Each structure stands twice: as structure tokens, then as C-alpha cells.
Structure 1
Amino acid sequence: MTRKGQVRAAFGQAAATYDQHAAVQRQVAERLAGRIAALPLPAAPRVLEIGCGTGLLHAALAPRLRAAEWVFTDLSPAMVAAARDRFGADARTAFVAMDGEQPCLHPDARFDLICSSLSFQWFERLGESVAALRRHLAPHGWLAFSTMAAESFHEWRQAHRDLGLEAATPRYPAPAALAALWPGARVEEEPMVQTYASGRDFLRQLKGIGAQVPAPGRPPLTAGQLARVMRRFEAQGARSTYHIAYGFLPAEG
């Protein structure tokens, strides 16, 4: 199975448990929604959401954009179904299972807002793919997103390093590197720290949201190695940082 297939399967399996484990994801969606609300958008924007999941960003943003037309998309059909069940379908909403890196959009499709909360870290060609999405912005439109940045999970990585091991957690770009990918981009950053009851609880929450897919080429730890890492993580306080980058790209031209 390809890595993209692994991501699709993991999030599909997590569709029923996502919301109960997604405290940070819900908070990030709220923070992103507040920032989007400050953008100069039309009164009734046409919105494309990439990686809608169960609908946390829509729940936070819809009260601020009451007249919007919304296209929900996600790599996982199960996540799209969860969002549809949560919000219902009407004449102003559409639900599409699609890969945001290979969107099934008409070449002339244009949106006033393209948004995504914590899905771009799963893109395999981030710079190129976001640039391609940006070309679907209407004049004066905006692309707004949140994604994981370089210092995310550094405590978990440190627990591995202390034991001479390497974490399978994917590497994320620094905010400055993100800003350099796209002309005119503005990137803000924010750390969020979550404390867990144990190392096992940390891993359980990652699996509960479907985020347990390892970086490519990283072999899994043995059971003994994982137990040692969890003990080290717990000795350091069982805390994990989510380093969040918020990006804002205006329509080109």
C-alpha cells in the first residue's frame, strides 16, 4: 500500500473516534477560523475545504460565514460521510471524497476561500500542490491553512534520541521555510502543549485521530524499545508540543 493509501485507511478507521481525541485539532480549527474571519472576504463566499475531516473547521467558521457556499473534501470517504452526517446536505453544500493534491475540480472552478486545518502536513508535494490549489482562487480570494511545523512532538523525538533511537514521527517544515514556498505568503506560528496521562495515552490519541502513519522508510520499534521510549517520555512529563503554522496566501495577480 502506498503511503497515501495508508493515510486514507488510517483516517477512515478513525472517523468514528476522531472527535473524542481531537482536543488540539478543535482548538487549532477555532484559531484558524478566527484568523480567516479577519480576511477581506465577500459576504457570500464560495469555500473549498481540503481535508474536512469530521467538520471541526466548518463548525468553527460557519457561524462567521453564514452565507457561504461550501464544498467539503477529504482524502477519506469515511471522513466525508461523517461531515455530511454532522451538517446535512443542502443546495449550498457539496461533499466530495478527493485527494487535495490531485483535486477533481473543473479547471475553471474558482473559490473566494480555500481553507484547510491540519491536513497539509500529509501532502507529499506541499509547495507544488498548494500552488496548484491557489490557482483556483477567485480574484481577491484567499487560501488559508494550519499545518504542523518543525518543533511538533519534539519531546517524543527527544525521548527517542536519549535512548539512541530515531522517532518515526514525520518531519515538518519550519514556518520560515513554509513562507518561502509561495510568493506573497504570510505565515504565523503558535505552540500548543498537551499533557498526557502516559506515553500509551499519547499514542492512543494519535491513533484515535488517524495520525499514527509513520514517516516513509522508518521501521517500527520493537516492543521493548517502545516501552523504554514511553517510560522516558513519561519521565520528562508526558508532554507534547504541537507547533502550529498558520498560512495565508492571497490570489496571485
Structure 2
Amino acid sequence: MSHTWDPDRYLAYADERGRPFVDLLARVPAEAPKVVVDLGCGPGNLTSLLADRWQGAEVVGIDSSPEMIAAARDIEGVSWEVADLRDWARPDPLALRAPVDVLVSNATLQWVPGHLELLPGLLDRVAPGGWLAFQVPGNFDEPSHTARTELAAREPYAAHTRDARVPTSHDPDVYARVLLDLGCEVDAWETTYLHVLTGPDPVFDWVSGTGARPTLQSLPDDLRPLFEEEFRALLREAYPADSSGRVVLPFRRIFVVARKPDGVRV
């Protein structure tokens, strides 16, 4: 089931969502890449950091959401393109596509079913000696996701939500093994951030802009408010506010930085 993204809602927690990107980028030691690509660039606020760091590079931001790319087009120094990440993993037997020196994907692969099988194809787009770096959430067993899944499986919601997209990812060692088997040098790790949120139902506000959005959009207008009310209540119970109204949201993220061997095409 298709859904659309809201750049403004996504950017409501821009600082918190941006920190993993910065942490990922810090572990990519490329010095003077010619071509840098951000797959799943969203509204482009983080892609601009690539242009700032590698000012001599051609930087390209790619996202499948026209809404996100429309929001990004005002950012200078980057070329923007609406495209599906999966197209980048398809074979190029004639080697017509230019190689990429740094290929970055931040909080995107979790939306692509079977993305583990796409890694060889993505690595094939990287120039020998180049870098593939990505980050995905690893918190799908947390109440922020499990509460939505359990609620969406109940009637009267299930008839509408069963085909809604849900994100998923793997542990860091799984990604590392795939890329090691492809001959890469691999740096893989995980970090759990503790985001301090404020305001009424802040965890709902967070997830409704990302992981829960396809589920919410799958519901008809007459059911969505009831679902949201029940979902908010479950999240308030799972993430209670302290006496000052602060909510702590633990958020585990998975990071992988892989360097492709010189002179090797996978």
C-alpha cells in the first residue's frame, strides 16, 4: 500500500534524527571523493552536510518521495532526483553508470523489503576503494513499534492495515557478514540514543512522522481518530512522563561503514 511523506512533520525532530547521520559520517574517512550519493535523502537537510564536507564533489540526493524532493530543491550545492533505491541495486552489465565514491543511506533501507539481498548490487555501484555507509533503526521490538503492530492487528483496523508497509532491519553482525563475504573492510556497530521529548504525546508525534505513518494513512477517515486515540494511550503507558513532563525515548540504531576493495567489482 502506497503512502506519502510529510517533510514538515518529519523535520519536527530534525536534531534528534540528524545525530545518527553525523555519527555515521564521522566514520567515513574518504578524503576527496568525486561523486557522493545520498540514497533516501528525505528533505535534504542532512544531504547538505555531505556538500559541506566534500566541497569538490558532485553530491546527489535521491528519494522515492516527490514530496521530500520538492522540499529539498531549495538547498544549493546538491542535485536532486526522484528515484527508487532498488533501481540502484539492479545489475549494470555494460557498466554504463558512473561509479560512486561514497554511497550513503540514512534510515532508509528498513523500508525496503529484502534489503539485505540488495547490498551486493549497491556495492557494485561503488568505485573500487570507495565507501558504502548506512544507518537503520534497530528498535522494532520496542513499544513504539510493537504497540502499533498489535493495535493494527485488531478489528476494525486489521481489514485496512494488513497491507500497510512496516519497517524492519537486521542486527549489525548480519550486515557485517554479508559485506565481509563480498571482500569489504567493515566497521559495524550499534548505539542506543536516549531522546528526551516534551509536550503532549511526544512519542506519538515522533512515530507518526515515520514508522507509524503508513499504518495511519491506511485507515479510513472515520477510523483513524479512534486508532490514534488508542495508540496514544498505549504509548503514554509505555513511555510515562516524569514530574516535569519529560519523556525518555530509547532509540537503538545500527551503523555500517564498508570500504570496497581496490580493483574489485562485485
TM-score by length of 1: 0.76
Cα distance per residue 1:103-146 (max 9 Å; x no partner):
39874320111011111111112122222111011111010111
Q: Secondary structure at the residue paired with 2:7?
A: coil
Deviations along 1:148-187, one digit per CA (max 9) or x if unpaired, are 12x3461335667999x89x96443222222233223431
d(CA) in 2 for partners of 1:134, 1:52: 18
In structure 2, the partner of 1:101 is 86
Once structures 1 and 2 are overlaid, which stretch shifts more, 66-75 or 100-109? 100-109
Amino acid at match of 1:155: P
Deviation at 1:48, TM superposition (A): 1.4
Aligned to 2:178: 181
Say which SS state the counterpart of residue 56 (structure 1) adopts.
Answer: coil
1:29 aligns to 2:21 (yes or no): yes
Q: How does 1:54-69 map to 2 (within 5 A)?
A: 54-69=43-58
Note the C-alpha offset of 1:225.
7.0
Percentage of matched positions with identical amino acids: 23
Report what 2:106 is aligned to: 117
- Structure 1 residues 62 and 20: alpha-carbon distance in aligned structure 2, compared to 1, 3 A threshold: same
Contact 1:170 1:214 in 2 (8 A): no
Change (3 A) 1:141 1:231: same
Larger radius of gyration, structure 1 or 2?
A: 2
| Equivalent residue for 2:252, pick from 218, 243, 246 | 243
Corresponding position of 2:195? 194
Specify the alignment match of 2:143 in structure 1. Answer: 155
Q: Within 1, Cα distance between the matches of 2:150 and 2:68?
A: 37
Which ranges in structure 1 are unaligned for 5 or more consecutive residues? none
C-alpha deviation, 1:60, in angstroms? 2.8
Partner residue of 1:133 out of 107, 111, 122:
122
Q: Deviations over 1:210-239 (max 9, x none)?
A: 752249x9xxx9866764553343234254
Deviation at 1:63, TM superposition (A): 2.6
Secondary structure at the counterpart of residue 24 of structure 2: helix
Q: How many corresponding residue pairs?
A: 235
TM-score by length of 2: 0.72
Q: Give the unaligned 5+ runs of structure 2.
A: 155-163, 241-246
